[in-house]
Structure 1
């Protein structure tokens, strides 16, 4: 099979790769669509994903496809089933798994991170990580279930009321998903900070009341701040923009070495609540439902489509391409 294989830092090659075979409790899927995540870019540049990455490996943890073969002990799937994949694989025995915090698993494995993923024509996945999708759902939508699941996990960590003023920092794909979820809560006022002028139209269409660029930053007192960028300046702005009694959700993935300057007195005097959010525990099925029912629209958020052969150049030039959300189409 053809696969885009990460050989090392900034070294991705399309190669003839051995087609995998499923073990007794695994399935083999023919990948139909795979999203390109910001985490894939982190890994490409030598940073860890949800776990350490050891090349050579096929990236791609946002994937969907068709079942072509099932292992001998698989009972709930058969060839021809259409599935979306939750990439995270938990050990079930560490203290976090045993305390219902599986996403913090000490032995976390993940499709497209610690084992081959969706940037190849075929992918082997545990049966437990496969979710059937309705016929009405496109494979592109099904590939984007995983990031929506991650956003749902973060969304559950904040408390909203109809009187809340919400600031979303970063109006890219993740910010657009948060915007749709927040809008569903009949929130009083939603502001988005986004530097790209060409994203303003879709942000207003999705429900933003106000969009401004970071260079035009002004004093704000938001009740809830959702940071979706992961850069020092945007995270520091999140704390400044939070009003008294405010909540700050740090969702954007920063580089491991990133350090920010925050005033402890500001946290104290405003009595801020600060939360992080990691991966997508127990949210995949709900995310499928939200997309299938058209409550959350992911299809219109796709800005670029790539072939597998384009991936080496795409990953190299990704920041320059102006991609809001890119998917690989097979």
Structure 2
């Protein structure tokens, strides 16, 4: 099979690669669509993903396709089934797995991170990580179930009501998903900070009451602040913008070297709650339902589509291309 193989930092090539063989509890999926995540860019530039990455490896942890082979003890899937894959594989035996915190598993493995993923024509995954999708759901939508699942995990950490003023920092793909979930809570107002002028119309269509273009605004104040960028200045702004008793969700993935400056007195005197959010523990099925019921739109958020042969150049030029959400179609 053909696969885009990460061979080292900023080194990706399309190569002939060994087609996977399913283990007893696994299936092989012919990949139809694979999302290109910001985390893939982090890995491409030499940073860790949800776990440490050891090239050569086929990236791609947002993926969907059709089952073409099943392992000897697989019972719930058969060839021809259309599936979306939750990439995260938990050990089930560490203290976090046994304490209902599987996403913090000390032995975490992940399709497209620690084992070959969706940037190849075929991919293997445990049966337990595969979720069947409705016939009417496109493979592109099914590939984007994973990021919505991650957003759902963070969203559930927040307490929202009809009086909540919500600020979302970052109007890219992740911010757009949060925006749709928050809108369905009937909060009092939603403001999005997004410097790209061309996104204003889309953000308003998705539910933003106001779109602000500058990160340095000191007048913003919100009961709930959701940071979706992962940069020093945006994370510091998230804390500063929180009202008394406010909640701050730091969702954007910063580089490991990023350090922010916050005032402990401000956290104390405003009694702020600051939370992080890591991956998507068992939210995949709910995310599929939200897309299938058109509660969350992901299809129209895709800004760029690529073919396998374009990936090395695409990954090298990703920021310059202005991609909001890119997807690979096999």
Q: Greater shift after overlay, 120-129 or 211-220?
A: 211-220
Distance 2:130 2:119 in 1: 17
Paired position in structure 2 for 1:81: 81
Secondary structure, in 3 states, of the residue corresponding to 1:47? coil
Whether the 8 Å CA contact 1:221–1:244 is kept in 2: the answer is no
Paired position in structure 1 for 2:27: 27
Secondary structure, in 3 states, of the residue corresponding to 1:73? coil
CA offset at residue 218 of structure 1?
A: 3.4
Distance 1:319 1:176 in 2: 18
Distance 1:206 1:215 in 2: 21
Secondary structure, in 3 states, of the residue corresponding to 1:191? strand
Paired position in structure 2 for 1:149: 149
Whether the 8 Å CA contact 2:215–2:237 is kept in 1: the answer is no
Distance 2:156 2:214 in 1: 26
CA offset at residue 214 of structure 1?
A: 2.2
- Number of aligned residue pairs: give it: 330
Secondary structure, in 3 states, of the residue corresponding to 1:214? coil
Distance 1:26 1:41 in 2: 28
CA offset at residue 183 of structure 1?
A: 0.1
* Gapped regions of structure 2 (runs ≥ 5): none
- Residues 276-303 of structure 1 show CA distances to partners (whole Å, capped at 9, x for unaligned) of 0000001000000000011100001000
Distance 1:284 1:217 in 2: 36
Residue pairs, 1:68-107, within 5 angstroms: 68-107=68-107
Asked if 1:263 is matched to 2:263, the reply is yes
Paired position in structure 2 for 1:224: 224
Distance 1:22 1:195 in 2: 46
Paired position in structure 2 for 1:314: 314
Whether the 8 Å CA contact 2:179–2:207 is kept in 1: the answer is yes
* Gapped regions of structure 1 (runs ≥ 5): none
- Residues 76-135 of structure 1 show CA distances to partners (whole Å, capped at 9, x for unaligned) of 000000000000000000000010100000000000000000000000000000000000
CA offset at residue 217 of structure 1?
A: 1.7
Paired position in structure 2 for 1:47: 47
Instruction: Could you list the structure 1 runs, at least 4 aligned residues long, displaced by more than 4 angstroms after superposition.
Output: none
Distance 1:209 1:64 in 2: 34
CA offset at residue 215 of structure 1?
A: 4.8
Whether the 8 Å CA contact 2:14–2:308 is kept in 1: the answer is yes
When normalised by structure 1's length, the TM-score is 0.99
Asked if 1:62 is matched to 2:85, the reply is no
- Residues 23-45 of structure 1 show CA distances to partners (whole Å, capped at 9, x for unaligned) of 11100000000000000000000
CA offset at residue 198 of structure 1?
A: 0.9
Whether the 8 Å CA contact 2:173–2:301 is kept in 1: the answer is yes
> Over aligned residues, Cα RMSD in angstroms?
0.6
